[in-house]
Amino acid sequence: MSFRTRALLATAAMALATSAQAAEPMASAGDLVVRARGIAVIPDESATITPIGGDVGIDTAVMPELDFSYFVTDTVAFELIAAVSPHDVRAIGTSIGDADVGDLLLLPPTLTVQYHMPLSDDLKPYVGAGINATFFIDEDAAGGVVTDVNAKDTLGWALQAGVDYRLSGRWMFNVDVKRLFLDTKVKLNGGAIDAKVNIDPWIVGVGFGYRF
C-alpha cells in the first residue's frame, strides 16, 4: 500500500470519527449531567406586617450553585439543585420607620422535571416545572429594634427555562432561569411582630456542564 493510499485512508477514518462525535447526542437516556453555575437570586418581595404595617426589602444574592440532571429518556430529565442563599432583610415604611431585620441564610433545594427540545445535537433548549423546599438554616437578628427573628421553612412551586450548548465532546455551556413561588411566615421579637412574606425570587444562572 502506497504512502498516498495510507494517508487517504487515515484522513477518511478521522473524518468518520469526527462525524460520529458530532452526531453523538449531547445527552440521552441514562446520562447524568452535572453543572456548576454562578447564580443571582433576585427576590420579587412583598410583605404584610402586623401590627406595624409597611413592606419588606430583601437584597439580591450572588453565589455558586451545583445541579444534577438525570435523563430518564432522551428528552425528559429530572434536575436537582444545591446551593445556599444569604440575604439581608429590611422592614420598610412601617409605623416605626425603616429598620434592619437581620440576615437570613436559605437552603432552597429544588427538583424539576425538564423537557429538552431536540432541536439539534449541539443546542438544546429546555423548560421545566417542579417543587422547592426552602429551609432557613441561619437567622441573625440585626439588633436594636429587632432582637429575634424566626422564619418558617416552606414548600413552593418552581418554573424553569434554559438552554445547553455543546462546547466539545461531553462539555456544554448552560444558561438557566428559574422562578420560585416562595412564601413564608416570619416572627420578630418572640412573636410581637408577625409578617407574611412573599419572596418569589428569580434565579438566573450561567455555567458549564459535563455529561457522565
pLDDT at residue 5, as a whole number: 53
The pLDDT assigned to 19 comes to 44
Task: Confirm if 183 and 199 have CB atoms less than 8 A apart.
Answer: yes
Is residue 56 within 8 A of residue 197, CB to CB? The reply is yes
Mapped onto helix, strand or coil, the DSSP state of residue 174 is strand
C-alpha cell at 195: 409578617
Task: Supply the pLDDT for residue 11.
Answer: 56
Q: What angle do CA 197, 199, 204 make, to 5 degrees?
A: 175
- The one-digit pLDDT tens for each residue of the chain (212 residues) are 665 555 555 555 454 444 444 467 888 999 999 999 999 999 999 999 999 999 999 999 999 999 999 999 999 999 999 899 999 999 999 998 998 999 999 999 999 999 999 888 899 999 999 999 999 999 999 988 899 999 999 999 999 999 999 998 899 999 999 999 999 999 999 989 999 999 999 999 999 999 99
> Which domains are assigned to the chain?
3-211 (2.40.160.20)
Which residue, among 183, 179, 184, has the nearest Cα to 202 in the 3D structure?
Answer: 179
User: From CA 26, how far away is CA 15, in angstroms rounded?
Assistant: 19
Strand order in the sheet with 193-198: 46-50, 193-198, 183-188, 149-151
